[in-house]
Structure 1
Amino acid sequence: MFQKAIRWHPPSYDIRVESVPVPQIQHPDDAIVKVTLAALCGSDLHIYRGHAGVEKVHTCGHEFIGEVVSLGSNYGVDSAKGRPTLYYHLKVGDRVVSPFTVNCGECSVCRLGYTGRCPEGLLFGSPSLEGGQAQYVRVPKAGGTLFNLSDPSTWSSSMSKDEKEQALIGLTDSSLLMLADILPTGVFAALQAINHPKVAPVITGRPWPLCFSPPLEGPGNEVRLNAEDKVLTVAIIGLGPVGVCAAISMLDALAIRQVPFRIVGIDPVEARREKMKAVYTTIVQAGEGTGEFVVLSIEEAREKVEDWTGGVGCTTVLEVVGNTSALSLAYDLVRAFGAVVSVGVHGALPLPFTGRQCYNKNVSFDFGRCPARAMFPLAFDLLVKRQDVFGGIGEPASLIDRVVDFTEAAESYRAFDKGEVGKVIFDPWK
């Protein structure tokens, strides 16, 4: 049997829709998923542009949702007990969404929640594992990787099982597909920043290092924070789909904590800035605009941070682009004793600052891939809450711009690369 798949050909900018064999079970832990929708992600552009050092033709895409059509022999048997729960509960016909990497769910790395760096991990849509922009995809270690949307009792949530079941009734596949990568990554970026030790004085309202200790007895001689010190100043560099998700997550977290904030979203592309403005307007109307949020070009943002902080700089900066110019901007904008959280996929170029620069500013850098499977419960809850952004398609405040068939694959990659379109979803069966 053969299927349609979107394939990348070296050296760069060459996307073709081809007929390739339908994947088969290769290992007892495998599952075969019939893909109902797959998405185009900013990370796909690194290979597309030829910047990733890849030389192998392969099926693209690491964001997909679908239905299980085949399972290996390790599912539903007594020996599956004690392994990740899906080895015992996953069935043919179940509706599933996959994180963008394979995760065994059984090693110490996965048990600690660092699933993006599982030793068994593979990235979908890479030379090591065929991607999900196809009609079918093979999922290795599926019992530790997939999330079973047909059985919400198999994952944690702030909602009850009944509430999750009710929420799932109203969620489309296009919305749920955001759980594969961009929404967990956005939540991860915001979570890393808000919980960073360098941010603790602002969040707690207590100076370093007393912000980490119970209140001490006695009058003390520490300098007390004033109102200005308790305002969290954040820059978000890059307002593509992940940057929008990071902004939504940051706004939600600060509203819950009731932390005063000033946030500047930064992007050189006007269309992305307009999308972010429309999203924020929707959030304000829902009652979560409790601080100051602006969307600006790069130079305008430099001036705004200077004005806001008197030249001190941002408490924390989220870098969601994945290039050296974005990192340089993050370093410039962050304050001394600040934190930069980078979730953009970086190439092989050296970092654009020296150890002396980092030392002289006491800057902390947090880099790396989102552990998407571990982030799923938090991302699901936010997805349900923010259907005003994630539920629609093609509206000014919709994260998803369009759903297209495979015939538009090459043009969609070109337009996305040029910033002419935002989030694009492929329907393999149109």
Structure 2
Amino acid sequence: MTSTEIPSGFHKAIRWYPPAYDIRVDEVPVPRIQHPDDVIVKVKLAALCGSDLHIYRGHGGINSVHVCGHEFIGEVVALGESYGSDAQGRPALYSSLKVGDKVVSPFTVNCGECHVCRLGYTGRCLDGGLFGSPALDGGQAQYVRVPKAGGTLFNLSNPSTWSSALPEETKKNALLNIADSSLLMLADILPTGVFAALQAINHPKVAPVITGKPWPHCFSKDDVLGNEVSFTESDRILTVAVIGLGPVGVCATVSMLDVLATRKIPFQLVAIDPVESRREKMKAVYNTIDVEGKGTGDFAVLAIDEAKAKIGEWTAGVGATAVLEVVGNTSAINLAYEVVRAFGVIVSVGVHGEPPLPMSGRQLYNKNISLDFGRCPSRAMFPPAFDLLVKRQDVFGGIGEPASLVDRIVDFSQAADIYRAFEKNQIGKVIFDPWK
């Protein structure tokens, strides 16, 4: 094992106690290397995420005390025996990662070597695990153990170990100049937002609008229209709804706007949330984005009933082609079903609890809709998320401004109050500094 000096005693950690709404800051043993593939990270910053609220509210089916949090950035302070220059045939970090390197972690452990990881579905690695659960202590602590770290972490000190569509010099300069509070978004919320947008824009149900050719000729390279009636200009307008404007919903909306603007796709996009403060945040974010990043489509931020009316107005009652559901509850899914068109797609990246889905098979059949559910493979989504982070520093770079995704950076002593305020929608994205 290679390491710097790690305290041999205890460190501070934010822990959840069952059954619900009980957050405490405890002194717990400093984590140690347990497996040759482990790495110990000294946490510089850790974030509070909407997904943490499921456990906080007692809805996660969990009854064990554990360290919270799955978003963290920090410095490598100890390496297991697997790390070294002779680590052949394994992910690059097993050969190159060093003590002192700055790293950001996806919210799940990913081995990077199994069939599932090789396909890019890293969020469901068979050897994986979720930080901030009874099975794996989270990052809202001064130190955290990262299993399978060679396939999990991203080395921000050595950007040659991961890909980017940006020029190499741009990539290096970005890592020198972007704040850690911004880079921390690469742990979960920004990759998840990009994931939702890319799932929708690349879905087969969206292909006729994108290609201008009806089903099934939208999948053919031939110029045959396959229909005696040509597409009208309005048939080429993609109508999208984003349900939920918490931090991930904002990221999903910004990601979708970027995709539409980059591909020059005509669009109508409505961002929906019943909470006024979240709508105001989304409006401020949109107003901050430059003209190039907004595209040329129509954009609206509305409460639920107004959004339903707007979608009906835009589409003559047909409905949205794609709906991004970023909440993770039955009411949001019901709304998604209500506003999606026949032959539309619902992309759900919100963390759903135990209640069953509210739609019947008959309802799904009657609309020919597709449901795309589940966890973001955040490690696989890191490269495009990083590129968007660099492009949109106007939104993702600040703290505490009307258009900033991050509202505050606080110390651990405020943890219980911050969890309580976040749960009541009284504050947005908050980052903890374990060393304040």
CA contact 2:217–2:226 (8 Å) conserved in 1: no
1:225 Cα deviation after fit: 1.1
1:21-420 correspondence to structure 2 within 5 Å: 21-78=29-86, 80-216=87-223, 221-285=227-291, 288-420=294-426
Partner SS, residue 137 of structure 1:
strand
CA contact 1:9–1:56 (8 Å) conserved in 2: yes
CA contact 1:35–1:67 (8 Å) conserved in 2: yes
**Residues 202-257 of structure 1 deviation map (CA, whole Å, 9 limit, x = unaligned):** 1111111111001246x854432111110010110000000000000000000011
Amino acid at match of 2:162: W
1:363 Cα deviation after fit: 0.5
1:160 Cα deviation after fit: 2.9
RMSD: 1.0
| TM-score, normalization by structure 2 | 0.97
**Residues 29-50 of structure 1 deviation map (CA, whole Å, 9 limit, x = unaligned):** 0000000000000000000000
Q: Distance between the aligned counterparts of 1:370 and 1:249, measured in 2?
A: 14
Amino acid at match of 1:385: K
The correspondence for 2:24, drawn from 4, 16, 20, is 16
**Residues 190-213 of structure 1 deviation map (CA, whole Å, 9 limit, x = unaligned):** 000000000011111111111100
Q: Distance between the aligned counterparts of 2:390 and 2:138, measured in 1?
A: 27
CA contact 2:107–2:378 (8 Å) conserved in 1: yes
Q: Distance between the aligned counterparts of 2:196 and 2:11, measured in 1?
A: 36
CA contact 1:319–1:330 (8 Å) conserved in 2: yes
Q: Distance between the aligned counterparts of 1:31 and 1:270, measured in 2?
A: 42
Q: How many residues align?
A: 428
1:285 Cα deviation after fit: 4.7
1:284 Cα deviation after fit: 4.3
**Which consecutive unaligned segments of at least 5 residues does structure 2 have?**
1-8
CA contact 1:261–1:291 (8 Å) conserved in 2: yes
Q: Distance between the aligned counterparts of 1:46 and 1:198, measured in 2?
A: 31
1:162 Cα deviation after fit: 2.4
Q: Distance between the aligned counterparts of 2:317 and 2:85, measured in 1?
A: 63
Dislocated runs of 4+, deviation >3 Å: 219-222, 284-287
Q: Distance between the aligned counterparts of 1:199 and 1:289, measured in 2?
A: 18
1:133 Cα deviation after fit: 0.1
| TM-score, normalization by structure 1 | 0.98
Partner SS, residue 127 of structure 2:
coil
Partner SS, residue 336 of structure 1:
strand
Amino acid at match of 1:163: T
CA contact 2:237–2:266 (8 Å) conserved in 1: yes
**Which consecutive unaligned segments of at least 5 residues does structure 1 have?**
none
1:334 Cα deviation after fit: 0.2
1:163 Cα deviation after fit: 2.1
Amino acid at match of 1:45: L
**Residues 326-360 of structure 1 deviation map (CA, whole Å, 9 limit, x = unaligned):** 00000000000000000000011111010010001
Q: Distance between the aligned counterparts of 2:222 and 2:288, measured in 1?
A: 39
Between the two proteins, what is the percent identity of the paired residues? 75
Q: Distance between the aligned counterparts of 1:38 and 1:223, measured in 2?
A: 55
